[in-house]
Amino acid sequence: MQGKGCLGCVGTIAVFIILVVFAQPIFGFLVEHYAGVIILGFIMVGGFTYWYEKHYLRAIPQITRFIESFYDREAVWPPTSMHIGQDNIKALGRELSEQHGIIFTEDVLRKVVHRQTKKIMDQHFQLSFERLNNLPANPSPKEWANAYVNTFGNNLNFLGYVFRMARKKQPFITGHSLAASIREEMARQGYS
């Protein structure tokens, strides 16, 4: 049953192996028969799409619940890092496989958990930061800097969070310009 869930992946991998091993003769054949190239492309895209829909998208709600079980939603500020042990990630992988038929390699699952953890922490930080500061809909770098220094003083540990928030509202803002604005604001408010 578990092997059936990844047939699209196995097919895609098999096609890549065949292409690598027999690249020269197959390449010549495919050049002459360009319809084969198009069909091969559809097979590869179909295999990836099947895996993505069957495994990744279905796993996100379970992974989010898993991360939130380690996360204190009542905290005013999230920690700058949150460690979820490898044993816990392995247990999540077993649960996803046995209960939901969702299969990940351990390395891929660890990366997905890390990415989702960062996303959850960013969302929590944004809600907390916006609750404390009265920022306009499209704040300038100086307004971001003022809100940051008023909230954190001279602690630059949360700069990455604020930068990611600022990028959502102003795609062309750079980390360098935001950090420079924050340092100017810190100097203006008397922080060293």
Span 6-44, pLDDT tens digits: 555 666 677 666 666 666 566 666 666 666 667 767 677
Categorize the per-residue pLDDT at 102 as very low, low, confident or very high, splitting at 50, 70 and 90: confident
Dist CA 109 CA 93 (whole Å): 7
In the numeric block, the tokens 């954190």 are attached to 152
pLDDT at position 87, please? 92
* Number of other residues whose CB lies within 10 A of the CB of residue 180: 13
pLDDT at position 132, please? 78
Stronger pLDDT, 52 or 190, i.e. the higher one:
190
Burial 8-42 (b: 16+ CB within 10 A, else e): bbeebeeeeeeeeeeeeeeeeebeeeeeeeeeeee
pLDDT at position 2, please? 47
The per-residue pLDDT for range 147-160, each reduced to its tens digit, is: 999 888 888 888 88
The per-residue pLDDT for range 133-189, each reduced to its tens digit, is: 888 888 888 888 999 998 888 888 888 888 888 888 888 888 888 999 999 999 999
**Residues with Cβ < 8 Å from 114, sequence gap 6 or more?**
none
The per-residue pLDDT for range 118-127, each reduced to its tens digit, is: 888 888 888 7
Domain boundaries, the chain: 3-132, 135-192
Looking at the chain, the whole-number percentage of residues with pLDDT higher than 70 is 67
The per-residue pLDDT for range 69-90, each reduced to its tens digit, is: 887 666 655 555 577 888 999 9
